[in-house]
Homo-oligomer: A and B are copies of this chain.
Amino acid sequence: MTKLKTRILILVLLIGLAFPLLADEGLWPFNMVPKDYLKAKYGFEATPEWLKHLQLSSLRPGGASASFVSPDGLVLTNHHVAQGAIQNLSTKERDLMKSGFYAPTRADELKCPAMEFLVLQGIEDVTDTVQAAEKPGMKAPEAGEARDKVIAGLEKENSEKKGWRCTVVKLYAGGMYHLYKYKSYTDIRLVFAPEYLIAFFGGDPDNFTYPRYDLDITLFRIYENDKPLATPDYLKWSTRGVREGDLVFVSGNAGSTGRLLTMAQLEFLRDVSYPFTLANLQRRRALCIEYAQKGEEEKRIARRSLFGIENSFKSITGYQSGLLDPKLMAKKAVEEKSFRESLTKDRALNTEFGSAWEEISAAEKAYASFFKPLAFFERGQGFNTMYFGLARNLVRLAEEKSKPNAERLREFRDAGLPSVKRNILSPSPIYDDFEAVKLADSLAQLEENLGDVPEVAWILAGRTPEQAAKDIISGTKLKDLDVRQKYLDGTLEGVYLSNDPMIKLVLLIEPLSRGLRLRYEREVSSVETKNGTLLARVLFKLKGISIPPDATGTLRLSFGPVKGYIENGKRVPYQTTFAGLYAKSAQNGNKDPYELPQSFLQAKPRVDRSVALNFVSTADSIGGNSGSPVVNRQGEFVGVLFDGNIQSLPCNFVYTDKIARSVIVDGRGIIEALLKVYGAKPLVDEILGKK
């Protein structure tokens, strides 16, 4: 090891330039915040108390972010994060997406079934324990399985200790393992949501752009034992707000970045994964738009899918633009080349680490060879209906629950079971007509792409995709919550002997599906982890932990100043105001997607149009950060992140603060709208602590 250290020291000199200091880059785990850097650059002292308070004030709703904004369990997130819940509470007669919602008293707050918010209680480094599972001489898949068992044990044991939800998070592709301990809340009630028109003002055309004028917020309240949750850790609301140059912090569950990926992994995304996904999203988008044209109710139903599809399409297009940018890729290639060349100069080091890139590259090649069937079967591309997910969960739960915890598919381990069951029993409305249209189209796509796979013929059994989809959707009984409950409570043979056509479809493709998943784990993910671990080990030796790990859907802190930018020679201001909103609407004849809701039109005379509505910051963010609280040095709430501009999307792979920006709803704008547009004074009083 001392020999290694000497070698590494030499390496540092050789390849130091391969890792330049990347400005304020970084979605930092809360236990790895670069305090020295913050101190040196901003004179900011990130004390343990400051961090802990922000951590406990942050929440994780599904794959997004939120924060406590009152001591009575009031939670703020984005409207687009809350869309599912709002639509679950909507019907043809009462469309809360259209009308918005405000509960003047607590009795008016609406229960949102099947929702869960998690609050991160603590992080523990379990790297040594997990890595010790790999014994010398183990091949990648074997080592992967061994680690997986240790991880399952850690999660189960720790979850049971305090009744928390514990998850081991893999950082640096295997270089570190941290145990995240969450408290779970499941009694969630809707308090306030604006109209879709103002929450998503500008619609898909303005999504991922700036300047923006969106009131993309929703308020929930968490209850415990039928009482509002007492939340000593909540964010005080700054009434001063922000000015250009102010340092702000973002605390949220950043989804996924690929900044430490190898060239082979980036090329896989560029050449295989993204093109496939984009083509699928386009197809699904066209389908939703066609369906929406059938009538008002169809439009309402399709809208739910449409937002997600368009949002994904635009963000992935942005990511892909980075990978298609020769400059970005050249920069990445130079970095990797210099790293690799430096290693090759040291024979011993090269023996230990030198093959990592080739092994990853071979894994990506293998991955490409079965990516399509994996996507269509295991990942459900061929079965675009909510019923498929339900049936699959029921089948797999029945199979997995009889196995020992550590042997199960990851998502069916004890620590995750409550959330699987909650999803299965979710009363989200299902519209069979729409489901049949979606399933028919995806079956057709499956047939076009993998028509020679015997399972496809079995599924269709001589029928057209339309007829098969109709038969399956009209035959399945899984809409009925009692039926789902019965399967849940029942035995494995109850599932195996089911005549439900959706369950039979799942069973029919199950060996192929599972086979593909196993193949992915064996040939791809375990190889990526094995070699990612090696590369991380060298990285740590060279740079300590000055390079943050890629995002993993877990709580991260990022920071940077509030700052406008120059785009095509034009100055883009750091903030927008209500005046800008009304002007933008007027310029577009108040027409979709710039139509203002009645509330905003009527409130126009009352509103202070100089009040800030949105602003931008250089603080790092990525999908999953939606709903992240943005706080100032005092830890006070100044806004809620809801987007990044289009230039921020390639930051998935290379961070830059030149013109990439996070887009944030300004806290002052929220107060102005709640008071002047919605007359929600009690809510404002609660938020501002005036009660």
Contact = CB atoms under 8 A, between A and B. Distances in A.
Interface of A: 402-404, 407, 454, 457-458, 461-462, 491-493, 495-497, 501, 504, 507-508, 510-512, 514-516, 518-519, 522
Contacts of A518: 491-493, 496
Contacts of A508: 458, 508
A501 B453 CA distance: 12
Looking at A492, A495, A501, A516, which has the most chain B CB atoms within 10 Å of its CB?
A: A492
A407 B497 CA distance: 20
Nearest to A498: B515
Nearest to A513: B496
A307 to B, nearest CB: 36
Contact of A407 (B403, B454, B495, B501): B403
B454 A504 contact: yes
Looking at A457, A497, A507, A516, which has the most chain B CB atoms within 10 Å of its CB?
A: A497
Contacts of A404: 404, 407
Contacts of A515: 492-493, 495-497
A461 B452 CA distance: 13
A462 B457 CA distance: 10
A516 B497 contact: yes
A252 B130 CA distance: 55
Contact of A493 (B491, B495, B519): B519
Nearest to A461: B457
7 contacts: A404-B404, A404-B407, A454-B501, A457-B461, A493-B515, A495-B515, A497-B512
Contacts of A407: 402-404
B511 A496 contact: yes
A263 to B, nearest CB: 28
Contact of A462 (B462, B496, B522): B462
Given A492-B514, A507-B512, 18 more contacts: A402-B407, A403-B403, A403-B407, A404-B407, A458-B458, A458-B508, A491-B518, A492-B515, A492-B518, A493-B514, A493-B515, A493-B518, A495-B511, A495-B515, A496-B511, A496-B516, A497-B512, A497-B519
Nearest to A404: B404
Nearest to A493: B518
A374 to B, nearest CB: 11
A496 B378 CA distance: 13
A492 B407 CA distance: 14
Looking at A454, A496, A501, which has the most chain B CB atoms within 10 Å of its CB?
A: A496
Given A403-B407, A407-B402, A461-B458, A493 B522 contact: yes
Given A407-B403, A458-B458, A461-B457, A496 B512 contact: yes
Nearest to A505: B454
Contacts of A491: 518, 522
A511 B519 contact: no
Contacts of A457: 461
A394 to B, nearest CB: 12
Contacts of A497: 512, 515-516, 519
A511 B507 contact: yes
A504 B514 CA distance: 14
A516 B496 CA distance: 8
Contacts of A510: 511
Nearest to A506: B511
A497 B522 CA distance: 13
Contacts of A522: 491, 493
Contacts of A492: 514-515, 518
Nearest to A399: B511
A501 B491 CA distance: 30
A584 B688 CA distance: 113
A171 B501 CA distance: 42
Nearest to A520: B493
Contacts of A461: 454, 457-458, 461
Contacts of A495: 511, 515
A217 to B, nearest CB: 46
A522 B496 CA distance: 14
A457 B493 CA distance: 21
A460 to B, nearest CB: 10
A508 B511 CA distance: 8
A225 to B, nearest CB: 32
A542 to B, nearest CB: 37
A244 B240 CA distance: 117
Contacts of A512: 496-497, 507
A519 B495 CA distance: 11
Nearest to A145: B402
Contacts of A504: 454
A141 B647 CA distance: 62
A265 B514 CA distance: 41
Contacts of A403: 403, 407
A457 B458 CA distance: 8
A522 B491 CA distance: 10
A456 to B, nearest CB: 11
Looking at A511, A516, A518, which has the most chain B CB atoms within 10 Å of its CB?
A: A511
A366 to B, nearest CB: 12
Contacts of A454: 461, 501, 504
A140 to B, nearest CB: 13
A358 B177 CA distance: 58
Contact of A496 (B402, B496, B501, B514): B514
A492 B141 CA distance: 13
Contacts of A507: 511-512
Listed from nearest, the 3 A-B pairs whose CB atoms lie closest are A496-B515, A493-B518, A497-B515
A327 B587 CA distance: 101
A405 to B, nearest CB: 12
Nearest to A494: B515
Contacts of A519: 493, 497
A390 to B, nearest CB: 17
A504 B509 CA distance: 11
Nearest to A503: B511
A188 B407 CA distance: 40
A464 to B, nearest CB: 14
A508 to B, nearest CB: 7
A403 B407 CA distance: 8
